[in-house]
Amino acid sequence: MVGSGAREHALAWKLARDGAEVFTAPGNAGTAAVGENLPVAADDFPGLLAAARKHACELTVVGPEAPLVGGIVDLFHREGMRVFGPTAAAARIEGSKAFCKQILRRGDVPTALHREFRSAAGAVEYLESRDDMPVVVKADGLAAGKGVVVCAGRAEAVEAVNALARDPQFAVAARTILIEERLDGPEVSVMAVTDGRTIVTLPPLQDHKAAHDGDVGPNTGGMGAYCPTPFVDAATSAEIEARILVPTVHAMRRSNVPFHGVLFAGLMLTPQGPKVLEFNARFGDPECETLMALLDSSLLEILDAAVDRRLESIAVPTWRPGAAVTVVMASEGYPGPVAKGRAIRGLDEAAAVDGVTVFHAATRAVAGPDGPVAVNDGGRTLAVTAVGDSLANAKRRAYSAVRCIRWDGAWCRKDIADKGIDRERIAAAATEPER
């Protein structure tokens, strides 16, 4: 397993339960408990290759986007190693928003209308030539979540374009600027495992990207997720598969960049139907933790089948009935810089709450007087996942566990899953017979 976040901990945890012996590079204090950590960074490709050989790894699973976009899968293929994930060329669906739009156009996949500009001046001229309306300004390349600015109107958009142009990263990461129609509606995440031909669609779920309760504050990597989401019924789910996921996989194959791995669609459910906001080339985080808690079937079997291009031959995966909720616990300062190295207490108590698994997102084990202690080592620090027979029950369990955990500066959103729970309540009230 390559990576060091809660997504990688959840994948390692599930693969270990499926019978695999797991090595995680570089991992965290959580992955050390489900296998062995290897002191190799996720961007040290020769180091990862040597480690996979040394430990006779039969399958390498790549968690984060950066090594995928950097070509780790291409290298492992060249060296005859089995690896789960897309090639660098295919990972461009996440790494380049302009490339993503090309694929969507080729597959006739619904998405926001957009224009592309090679210079800030061109983008500004365009904004000034048309009606003042809400738009979204996007930098083309990977920008760790900082490349997207949702704007109420022209003035904000012009400012966003100029800010991008001033950013030193722009020269390397984002030579192209996209101006996109602003869409409206609830956002959902839908992922599919694919071998380039066959897709296995995973249950839709909802992330919480804003830092604070009520969806306010700065954008983050995701502060919590829940599944299932009542915003996607069976008909919408079928529509997403048929009109978005399948045509995207086919468009990539026809473009000679077949996609193998996890295709992650960030969608907006607009009044005109589901539309693509973005594609990622990997599992979502915290979506992955939430799904792993619900997956009954063997993940190992699914990933093996995808790598061997025989996904059509495996049984449809089965999922635990009920719901799962993941609450991300972050360190003071996130999504900005955070102080690290603070001891985390109460992890065992939290893990003892019924239905709860605590996944580590950014922790490190350090020597303490009574053995190793986990300390925080980044912004999103823990992902506390609970399963339950309903969303409300899973939410209660997750927050009971969160209350057991303490470190200096720890915080989390208090309203994870509320959108789903409220929506279920409204739907139930609407179908109640009149008295």
Q: Which residues bind ligand GLY (CB under 6 A)?
A: 207, 221-222, 280, 284-285, 287
Decide whether 15 or 268 has the Cβ nearer to ligand AMP: 268
- Beta carbon of residue 95, minimum distance to ligand GLY (angstroms, whole number): 13
**Residues in contact with ligand AMP, shown as a per-residue x/- string from 290 to 319 under the rule CB under 6 A:** ------------------------------
| Two tokens, residue 122 | 């061109």
- Of 288 and 295, the one with the shorter C-beta distance to ligand AMP is 288
Task: Write down the least CB distance from residue 156 to ligand GLY, Å.
Answer: 24
Give, as one character, the DSSP assignment of residue 433.
P
Q: Which is nearer to ligand AMP, 47 or 266 (CB)?
A: 266
Contact (CB, 8 A) for 359 and 420: no
Instruction: Give the residue with the Cβ less far from ligand GLY, 181 or 278.
Output: 278
In whole angstroms, the minimum distance from the beta carbon of 207 to ligand GLY comes to 4
**From the list ligand GLY, ligand AMP, none, partner contacted by residue 355 (C-beta under 5 to 8 A by kind):** none
CA-CA distances (angstroms) from residue 43 to 13, 72, 176, 224, 288? 22, 8, 25, 27, 21
Residue 203, CA atoms < 13 Å, CB-side half-sphere? 27
Q: Is 155 exposed, middle or buried (0-12, 13-18, 19+ CB in 10 A)?
A: exposed
Q: Which residue has the tokens 């995973």?
A: 202
- What is the residue whose two structure tokens read 């408990």? 33
DSSP 319-388: B-SSEEEEEEEE-TTTTS-----PBPB-HHHHHTSTTEEEEESSEEEEEETTEEEEEE-SSEEEEEEEEE
Determine the 3-state secondary structure of 276 from DSSP: strand
Contact partner at residue 222 from ligand GLY, ligand AMP, none, CB < 5 to 8 Å by partner kind: ligand GLY
Count the residues of the shown chain that bind ligand AMP, applying the rule CB under 6 A.
12
Options 187, 241, 332, 418; binder of ligand AMP; rule CB under 6 A: 187
Q: Which is nearer to ligand GLY, 261 or 284 (CB)?
A: 284
Residue 327, number of CB atoms within 10 A of its CB: 26
Q: Is 112 in the site for ligand AMP (CB under 6 A)?
A: yes
In the complex, minimum distance from the CB of residue 221 to ligand GLY, in angstroms, rounded to a whole number: 6
Q: CA 329 to CA 224: how far, in whole Å?
A: 9
Alpha-carbon span 258 to 260, nearest angstrom: 7
Q: Is the Cβ–Cβ distance between 402 and 342 less than 8 Å?
A: no
CB nearer to ligand AMP: give 31 or 220.
Answer: 220
User: CB neighbours of 280 closer than 8 A, spacing ≥ 6?
Assistant: 65, 93, 94, 263, 264, 266
Q: Is 277 in the site for ligand AMP (CB under 6 A)?
A: yes
Short-list 235, 276, 273, 254, CA closest to 97:
276
CB of 222 to ligand GLY, least distance (A): 3
The yes or no reply on residue 165 touching ligand AMP (CB under 6 A) is no
The residues, ordered by sequence, that sit 6+ positions from 371 with a Cβ below 8 Å of its Cβ are none
- With respect to ligand AMP, which residue has the nearer C-beta, 224 or 355? 224
Considering only residues 136, 227, 293, 383, which one is a binding residue for ligand AMP as defined by CB under 6 A? 136
Which positions from 140 through 159 interact with ligand AMP, judged by CB under 6 A? 148, 150
Annotate each residue in 194-233 with x if it binds ligand AMP (CB under 6 A) or - if it does not, as one string.
---------------x------------------------
Q: Which is nearer to ligand GLY, 65 or 195 (CB)?
A: 65
Q: Which residue is nearest to ligand GLY (CB)?
A: 222
Q: Which is nearer to ligand GLY, 287 or 415 (CB)?
A: 287
Identify what 285 binds: ligand GLY, ligand AMP, none; CB under 5 to 8 Å per kind. Answer: ligand GLY
Asked if 281 is part of the footprint of ligand AMP (rule: CB under 6 A), the reply reads no
94 is an interface residue for ligand AMP by CB under 6 A: no
Contact 381, 350 (CB under 8 A): no
134 close to 152: Cβ distance less than 8 angstroms: yes
**For residue 209, how far is the Cα from the chain centroid?**
11
Footprint of ligand AMP on this chain (CB under 6 A)?
Answer: 112, 136, 148, 150, 180, 182-183, 187, 209, 266, 277-278
